[in-house]
Structure 1
Amino acid sequence: MTASAATPPRMSVEQMARAYAAEVAQKRRRFLFAAIIFAALVLVAGWMAEIDLALFFKNIHKFPNYIGRIFLLDSGPMAGHFVLYDVAGWFWGLGKWLRLLADTLLIAYVATVLGALFGFIACFFAAANLGVSHPLTFAVRRFLEFCRTVPDLVFALIFVMAFGLGPIAGVLAIVIHTTGALGKLFYEVLENVDQKPIEGLTASGASWTKTMRFAVLPQVLSNFLSYALLRFEINVRGASVMGFVGAGGIGQDLMEAIRKFYYPDVSAILVLIILTVSIIDLVTERVRHHFITQVG
């Protein structure tokens, strides 16, 4: 004689509705509690930062006024008209700005190449799965953290004081930050490689260098190239503001135009920077996809 399994009583529709309503109410209470905590933290942060809301709302009208003025000509027979009414007058300094923009691109290019090289070397010693000693891995990771934590403008100020005004300060500042950022991205890729080729070469007596070359590098090269190209896009934007502290590039003229309230010059330089970055984004995107399909 077989004993029938006891079946739990089925919940009625009203019971299920009450249970659902109770669950929804609990989630709403959690969301409300989290929202209150978030709002309180925002208020505390504003109080600690000495934010004056009255002053903020008193002067908020100046922001759209400034944005509007950068698209109006402020000199010549077309003064007060929209900038497109006199494009030649708007881009009066195009030759000079293009030369400075070329300097910006060269700063970003050189810094990306050197930063990617240093990050490439460091990442093999920062990865925890490649047989490197733990103290060395710890030290390299802390070094990379230092490189990417300190803002590149701070490094640029230091190098401007050390080497004077010019592109070299911008290059060195971006190199340090790029080394820290790419080093972290690279060693995270390394920590996700397939271990079987590494174990095979190690068992056959291959040296650590040959193991990295033939077992690890083919697995990660496409990702490394993709991250390096992405970093180049970021560095072009970063190099554009290095001139704010005298580290070369078009940012120096942009900062001068902002300080002297040359409104049309500000918009003209911004348009050049935006167009350049957009073109670089499109080109590097195609190059990244090509490397991913060809090398990967």
Structure 2
Amino acid sequence: MTANALRLPPEQAAHLLGHYRAGVAAKRRRLVLGMVVLAIAVVLAGIGGEVDIPKFLANSHRLPAYVWNLAPPLSWANLGNDIAEWFWNFDGWLLLLGDTLLIAYLGTLLGVGGAFVLCFAASANLERRPWIRFVARRLLEFCRTVPELVFALLFVMAFGLGALPGFLALAIHTMGALGKLFAEVVENIDMKPVEGTIAAGAGRLVSIRFAVLPQVLSNFASYALLRFEINVRSAAVMGFVGAGGIGSDLMVAIRKFYYTDVSAMLIMIIATVMVIDLLTEQLRHRLIGLGDRT
């Protein structure tokens, strides 16, 4: 009975089947057109970037050779001494790695503070004056649009080599990136508690303290921890332009082809980032209520 009820007249079935086939054909044409446009864009990008395919193929063996040279000569019979020779400057690199972590920590701390202050001025539901929102949002856009390395180069020229340029560069970029995220979190809050505090006679700061912050603090902390992970990686690169940390020694080793030193420092950086990722992941899970489920 069900099969008979769902059976359509031949004319109607043919009409619907024709529409279906036309829709499938149109979708396939759009897909093919999109692939053609993508291929043309890739070719134009290659021409603009002066990509030389024959040269790339002729020198493609150099990358595996470089990676192979990063591996130190290790033997089971003398493994301890080989590893000790590989990490011959472990204490010095560890101090530089500590500087990198401090740069990332202080840059994140200052950037989070600036983002926290500006996000309320950039939120449309809390700030009713358009010109203040405009200024706050453009400032945050400027801070996150300019790469950290560009800021670091500018600060190296202004303050000289050291950790200060890297710390300031990370702080400014962190403020711009987190300011946008914080503002979006604030714009998604429930406004009823805010309206209630205002109706009770509370001012702007009191309303933010008791009606806004309880709704957004967990998200703020989660984004800040995630940004700290990113800044640890970025701080390791700051040394490439003289902005302190282990990146300075890493850049020297790369330029002078000290292969084993490069691999030793990379292993230390990777291990540090992995540990920080694991720790901050656990903290984020606890903040958003997933700690008891994992």
TM-score scaled by structure 1? 0.90
**1:162-202: CA deviations, max 9, x gaps?**
11110001000000000000100000000000010111111
Partner Cα separation in structure 2 for residue 195 and residue 279 of structure 1 = 39
Equivalent residue in structure 2 for 1:205, among 197, 201, 207: 201
The CA RMSD over aligned residues, in Å, is 2.1
Fraction of identical pairs, as percent: 56
Please say which of residues 239-248 and 53-62 is displaced more in the overlay.
Answer: 53-62
| TM superposition shift of 1:253 | 0.8
| TM superposition shift of 1:84 | 8.7
**1:240-284: CA deviations, max 9, x gaps?**
010000000000111111000011111111111110000000000
The residue number in structure 2 matching 1:141 is: 137
Q: Which amino acid aligns with 2:62?
A: K
Matching of residue 180 in structure 1 with residue 176 in structure 2 = yes
Matching of residue 278 in structure 1 with residue 274 in structure 2 = yes
Q: Which amino acid aligns with 1:105?
A: L
Partner Cα separation in structure 2 for residue 145 and residue 85 of structure 1 = 52
Residue pair 2:148, 2:173 contacting (<8 A) in 1 also: yes
| TM superposition shift of 1:13 | 5.8
Counterparts of 1:99-138 in structure 2 under 5 Å? 99-138=95-134
**1:188-224: CA deviations, max 9, x gaps?**
0000000101111111211011111111010000000
The residue number in structure 1 matching 2:88 is: 92
| TM superposition shift of 1:9 | 4.9
Matching of residue 241 in structure 1 with residue 237 in structure 2 = yes
Distance 1:56 1:84, change over 3 A: farther
Moved over 6 A (4+): none
Counterparts of 1:42-53 in structure 2 under 5 Å? 42-53=42-53
Q: Secondary structure at the match of 1:172?
A: helix
| TM superposition shift of 1:19 | 4.2
The residue number in structure 2 matching 1:3 is: none
| TM superposition shift of 1:54 | 2.1
- Number of equivalenced pairs: 281
Residue pair 2:236, 2:246 contacting (<8 A) in 1 also: yes
Distance 1:67 1:58, change over 3 A: same
The residue number in structure 2 matching 1:62 is: 62
Structure 2 unmatched runs, 5+: 1-7
Structure 1 unmatched runs, 5+: 1-7
Residue pair 2:103, 2:235 contacting (<8 A) in 1 also: yes
Distance 1:178 1:84, change over 3 A: farther
Counterparts of 1:255-266 in structure 2 under 5 Å? 255-266=251-262
Please say which of residues 84-93 and 109-118 is displaced more in the overlay.
Answer: 84-93
Partner Cα separation in structure 2 for residue 243 and residue 135 of structure 1 = 39
Partner Cα separation in structure 1 for residue 183 and residue 80 of structure 2 = 49
The residue number in structure 1 matching 2:3 is: none
Partner Cα separation in structure 1 for residue 261 and residue 90 of structure 2 = 10
| TM superposition shift of 1:291 | 2.0
Residue pair 1:152, 1:174 contacting (<8 A) in 2 also: yes
Matching of residue 167 in structure 1 with residue 163 in structure 2 = yes
The residue number in structure 2 matching 1:215 is: 211
Partner Cα separation in structure 2 for residue 204 and residue 16 of structure 1 = 62
Distance 1:16 1:114, change over 3 A: same
Residue pair 2:127, 2:133 contacting (<8 A) in 1 also: no
Residue pair 1:125, 1:132 contacting (<8 A) in 2 also: no
Residue pair 1:108, 1:239 contacting (<8 A) in 2 also: yes
